[in-house]
Amino acid sequence: MPTAAIPAPVRQLAADHVTELTEVATELLDTHGSATSPALLAGLAPAGRRLSRGLHETLRPVDTADGLFVLRGLRVDDAELGPTPGHWSTVGPAGARWDVVLLLVSALMGTPIAWDGQQDGRFVHNIVPSPGHETVQTGASSSVLLTPHTEDAFHPGRAHLLLLCCMRNHDRIATTAASIRRAELSAQDVAELTRPVAPILPDDAYEDAQRYGGRPAPVPTLFAGEDGLTLRFDPAYTPLEDAGATWRAAYRRLEDQLARVSVAVSLEPGDVLVVDNDIVVHGRVPFTARYDGTDRWLKRASVRVPGRRTRPDGEAAEHGYGQAALEAWAA
C-alpha cells in the first residue's frame, strides 16, 4: 500500500485549451461518427497540428523523476455520461467524445497504440469493475489490491506512456504509482536485477497470448538507460519460484522500495493521470463494487514516443506471445 504523502504533480489546462480540445474532438466525432473509425484515427495527427503551441507545451510527455503528472481542467457531466457499465463491451455512445479527447491528448504526446487481442483492438479501453472478475489481476477487478506493475510488461512493444482518464470516481478510489527513480537500491541489487532471469507472462486480459506456444524468455527487471534506471515489472505474472534465492531477494527488496515511495492518486472526473511506463509502476487499492451504475470508471490509452531509447536492444527479438500492437496512424 502507498505510504508517501507527496501529492502527484499537476498540470492545469487553461480554459481556452479545454475549449480547443473539446471542440476539435467534437468535430472529429461528428465527421467520422465513431471513435473507432480508421479515418478518425488517421485524422488525429493532422488535428493535433491545428492545436495551439501552448496546448502542445502543456501536453508534453512526462519529464520529471516522479514519472507522472495529473492533467486537470477537463470537466465530465455525470448525468450526461450515463451509468457505469458492467463490462467494457457494453459501454454506450455517451462516452465517445471522451474517447476522442483522450486520443487527441495521446496524439500530442506520441503515437496511440492498441492491441489486437485486448478489448477488440480499441485504442481507448474502458476500465470498470465487472461481476465475476473481482479477484483477478486486471483492471476489471475490485476487491483485491491491483498489484503495482508495468503496463503490458510481457510485451517488448508496450507503451512508453499510459494515460488514465477519470469518468467517475464517487468513492475516491486511489490509483497507486511508484517511480524507480525514487527508490533506493544497492549496486548489488541493481546488478542482480539487470540480469535476464525470469520471464513475464501475459496477464489475464490476453487470453490468446496465454495460449501462445512459444517458450517464455527471461527478461531483465531493471535497465540502466541514458538518464537513469528503467524497469519492467509485473510480480503477479512473474514465476518468481523458478529464480534463484539471491535474485528473488533482490526482487523483494525492489518491491519493498517501490511500496515505500508509492503515492496514491484519487482522480476526479475529467482528470487524466499520465504515467511514464518505463519508470513508474501503477496499481489500484481494493474497493467494493456495487454494480449499480455509480462505480468507478476510467478510460485508458497507451502511447509510444517515437525515437525513445529506454529499453534494452535485446527486447526486439522477443516474440511478444503472438500479440501485435496496432498504431493509430496505420489503423
DSSP per-residue string spanning 198-235:
B-----TT-HHHHT--SPPPPB-SEEEETTEEEE---G
Q: The domain containing residue 99 runs over which residues?
A: 10-330
Give the list of residues 6+ apart from residue 205 with CB closer than 8 angstroms, or none.
Answer: 118, 138, 139, 140
Summarised one tens digit per residue, pLDDT across range 256-291 is 999 999 999 999 999 999 999 999 999 999 999 999
Identify the CA nearest to 226 among candidates 121, 103, 303, 312. 312
Which pLDDT value is given to residue 6? 56
DSSP E strands, 245-286 = 263-265, 272-276, 280-284
306, pLDDT greater than 80? yes
| pLDDT value at residue 92 | 76
The pLDDT, as a whole number, for residue 207 is 87
Q: Residue 241 to residues 129, 197, 231, 235, 248: CA-CA distances in angstroms?
A: 30, 11, 20, 11, 8
Instruction: Quote the pLDDT of residue 7.
Output: 73
Is the pLDDT at 5 greater than 70? The verdict is no
Q: Which of 17-21, 146-150, 212-216, 217-221 has the lowest mean pLDDT?
A: 212-216
Domain membership of residue 2 (yes or no) is no
How do 68-72 and 272-276 pair as beta strands? antiparallel
Q: CB–CB of 296/86 below 8 Å? A: no
Alpha carbons 181 and 67: distance in angstroms, whole number = 8
- Mean pLDDT, residues 128-138: 90
pLDDT at 93: 77
pLDDT at residue 149 tops 70: yes
Cα–Cα distance, 229 to 46 (Å, whole number): 34
- Residue 1 in any domain: the answer is no
Amino acid (one-letter) located at 89: S
Residue 36 is classified by DSSP as: T
Q: Give the model's pLDDT for residue 330.
A: 64
CA-to-CA separations, 156 to 26, 78, 153, 300, 331, in angstroms, rounded: 34, 38, 8, 19, 20
Mean pLDDT for 203-230 is 90
Average pLDDT, the chain: 92
Cα 70 versus chain centre, distance: 13
For residues 316 and 282, which has the higher predicted lDDT (pLDDT)?
282
Task: Identify the pLDDT of residue 89.
Answer: 82
Q: Give domain status of residue 116, yes or no.
A: yes
Task: Give the separation between CA 191 and CA 117, rounded to whole angstroms.
Answer: 34
Cell 514519472 sits at which residue? 67
Q: What is the pLDDT of residues 54-95, one digit of tens each?
A: 999 999 988 889 999 999 999 999 999 999 988 888 887 778
* Model pLDDT, residue 61: 84
Residue 234, domain member (yes or no): yes
Q: Which segment of 165-169, 213-217, 244-248, 257-261 scores lowest on mean pLDDT? A: 213-217
Reported as a single tens digit per residue, the pLDDT across 100-111 is 999 999 999 999
The structure's pTM equals: 0.94
CA distance 318 to 64: 29
* Per-residue model confidence (pLDDT) at position 3: 47
Q: What CATH number did the domain enclosing 261 receive?
A: 3.60.130.10
111 in a domain, yes or no? yes
3 inside domain: no
Q: Residue 4 pLDDT more than 60?
A: no
Answer for the pair 69, 8: CB distance below 8 angstroms, yes or no. yes
Domain count, the chain: 1
